Amino acid sequence: MSRISGRPAISTEHVYGLSLRIARWREGTAGTPLLFLNGIGADIAAAAPLLAQIHDREVWTLDMPGVGGSPDALLPYGAPTIAAVVMEIADRLGHKSIDLAGFSWGGALAQQIAIQFPGRVRRLVLMATTPVMGAPGIGWAAMFDDDMLASGLKIQTATPLGIAYQTAAMAGWTSLGLLSGLKNLPTLVLMGERDGVMPACFGEMLADQIDGALLELVPGSHLFPFTHAAAISSRISAFLDQPTAAQAAA
């Protein structure tokens, strides 16, 4: 496991017939833990250089079925099901309240969790994502992303069935009409200035739907959380550390 930046604690959780590999950095640190949800086909090792730099809090993530260290699912699953699986794991880890960050496919799942489990998410970070998953398999376009080609990063470790089930889980999914319910949830939307996979207009849709959401364009293209990990980890930490309105008024 030495190839995984920051040497997180690795475990496996068995939930609803799935076996999922979990990674936890700074396990047991006081405060609200951060859950990161990755893009389609990307594993723990791909996210590690970003997550290892988010300090002073526990950070955890997982490999989806058929990705990295998680075996294929026996049956297809939908967005509400995998959201319930993720939150069951949060419960087992003792995390009743979480901060939540999602990238691309994982950003859509993060929206699903925030909508499906109101009150469980303290702050939300959405990166290079969309409220409408109308293009199944869009994650493969990241293989031709400018930053991806320049960096030499290799993020896809999924089996063909793993990719197929991840794609099917979000095919036709949308959060439009539901995001208005997140008006009391502090939300940061980060979009890459040169993202040709998920252009900034999708971030504008998210910010328009979520009352009070902050929308920021950042350097890079679709894989900016990985290719600009130091800057993005710093921005995420600053957002999570902001005092709440009640704290600011005290």
Its pTM stands at 0.92
pLDDT (0 to 100) of residue 157 = 76
Written as tens digits, the pLDDT of the chain (250 aa) is 447 888 999 999 999 999 999 999 999 999 999 999 999 999 999 999 999 999 999 999 999 999 999 999 999 999 999 999 999 999 999 999 999 999 999 999 999 999 999 999 999 999 999 999 875 444 555 555 566 555 555 556 789 999 999 999 999 999 999 999 998 999 999 999 999 889 999 999 999 999 999 999 999 999 999 999 999 999 999 999 998 665 454 4
> Strand order of the sheet with strand 214-218?
9-15, 18-25, 59-62, 34-37, 98-103, 121-127, 187-192, 214-218
pLDDT (0 to 100) of residue 3 = 73
The phi and psi torsions of 183 (rounded to 5 degrees) equal -60, -20
pLDDT (0 to 100) of residue 150 = 59
Q: Which residue has the tokens 């990705």?
A: 67
pLDDT (0 to 100) of residue 1 = 40
Show the tokens assigned to 98: 């979480």
Q: Angle between the 160-170 and 79-92 helix axes, to the nearest 10 degrees? A: 110
pLDDT (0 to 100) of residue 148 = 59
Give the list of residues 6+ apart from residue 19 with CB closer than 8 angstroms, or none.
12, 13, 70, 71
Residue pair 156/236 in contact by the 8 Å Cβ criterion: no
pLDDT (0 to 100) of residue 136 = 44
